[in-house]
Structure 1
Amino acid sequence: MTSQTARDVIDQTKAFHKKLGNFYQELSDKVERERVKILLEYMSRHHDNLAAIMDEYEESVSESILDTWFMYVHKECDLTPFFDANLGSDMTAQQVIKVAMELDQCLLETYEAMLQNEIPDNVSEVFQNMLEMEKQEKIALAKDALMIEDM
C-alpha cells in the first residue's frame, strides 16, 4: 500500500511528461530519418505541453483536494519500453509510436487503479478528469503520429 496526496500524483505525472519530453528530444537529436525526427520532435513538444497543462490543472484544483491523503495499491508502470527500447539512429516511426502508446497506457492504468479505490468524490473527480484528458491526448497523439508517418 502507498500513501500519497493528490498533489503528489499530479506532480509525478508532470515529472513523467517532462521526462518523456526530454527523452524524445534526445532521441530526435540522434536519428537520421527525417520523418522519425519530425515525429520525435512533435512528441517532445506534446509531452512538454501536457506537463504545462498539468501545472494549470493543479492551480485550478482547491488546496483541500490537493492535500487529501489516500492509500492505494500501486502497480508500478512498466517503464521497460522507455528504458530498454531499441531506439537508435536507424529507428522507424512504427517503433517510436509503439513505445509511445505503451508509455501512455502506463499513465492510464495508474489513474484507473486510483479510481478503483475508496477515495473522496472530489478527489475521484480530479483523477477522472486526468484519465479523460490522457485518453483524449492518447488518441490525438496516435492520429498525429500516423499523419506524420504518412508524410
Structure 2
Amino acid sequence: MTTVQTAKDVIEQTRAFHNRLVSFYKDLSYQVDEERVKLLLEYMSRHHKNLVKIMDDYGSGVSEHILETWFMYVRNECDLSPFFSADLGPDMTAQQVMQVAIELDKCLLETYEAMLQNDIPDDVSDVFQGLLDLEKREKIKMAKSALKIETL
C-alpha cells in the first residue's frame, strides 16, 4: 500500500503505537499469575512509557521544515498475527511475552527502514535514521532487561 504523509504524521503514529503498548502490557500484567511474567509485563509497560516521552522530546526537537516534509512510501503491512493469536492470559510465559514484543518492535523497525528507502532530503533521512537507531538500541536494552527478569 502506498502512503503519503508527513514526517510529523509518522512520528505521531509511532508515539501513539508506543502509548497503546503501555496500556496493553499494563493490562496483561493484571491478568498473569507468574510473578516473573508480571514483572516483565510491568517492565514492558514502563519501557514503552519511556519511549512515548522520548518521542515527545524527539518531535519537539525537530524543525518544522522537517516535520512538514511530505513523502510517499510503500508500506508493507506488519504481520501482527503473533500479537492477536498468542495465548495471552494468566498462564502466559516470559517467552510468549518476549515473542509478542519482538514482533511488535519488528513493525516499527520495518516502518523506519521503509522510510529510509525513499529519495528524501538528508535532514529528513537523518531524523528517521535516528529513530531507527533509537528503536534498535531500545530493543537490545529491552532484551537484556527481559533476560535479567527471567533469571530472577
Q: How would you bin the TM-score normalised by the shorter chain?
A: over 0.9
Following superposition, the deviation at residue 80 of structure 1 comes to 2.0
* Matching residue of 1:137: 138
Following superposition, the deviation at residue 44 of structure 1 comes to 0.3
Alignment RMSD:
0.7
* Matching residue of 1:103: 104
Letter matched to residue 151 of structure 2: D
Aligned length: 151
Following superposition, the deviation at residue 83 of structure 1 comes to 2.4
* Matching residue of 2:42: 41
Percent identity between matched residues is 68
Identify unmatched segments of 5+ residues in structure 1: none
Could you tell me the TM-score, scaled by structure 1's length? 0.98
* Matching residue of 2:113: 112
Q: Aligned equivalents of 2:130 and 2:84: distance in 1?
A: 28
* Matching residue of 2:148: 147
Structure 1 moving runs of 4+ over 4 Å: none
Letter matched to residue 61 of structure 2: S
Q: Aligned equivalents of 2:129 and 2:139: distance in 1?
A: 15
Following superposition, the deviation at residue 98 of structure 1 comes to 1.0
Letter matched to residue 104 of structure 1: D
* Matching residue of 2:21: 20
Q: Aligned equivalents of 2:7 and 2:86: distance in 1?
A: 31
Cα deviation digits, residues 16-46 of structure 1 (max 9, x gap): 1011111000000100000000000000010
Cα deviation digits, residues 61-117 of structure 1 (max 9, x gap): 001100000000011122222222211100000110111111111111110111011
Q: Aligned equivalents of 1:83 and 1:125: distance in 2?
A: 33
* Matching residue of 1:94: 95
Please state whether the residue corresponding to 1:14 is helix, strand or coil.
helix
Q: Aligned equivalents of 1:119 and 1:130: distance in 2?
A: 15
Range with greater deviation from structure 2 (22-31 or 71-80): 71-80
Could you tell me the TM-score, scaled by structure 2's length? 0.97
Please state whether the residue corresponding to 1:61 is helix, strand or coil.
coil
* Matching residue of 1:51: 52
Please state whether the residue corresponding to 2:71 is helix, strand or coil.
strand
Q: Aligned equivalents of 1:80 and 1:47: distance in 2?
A: 20
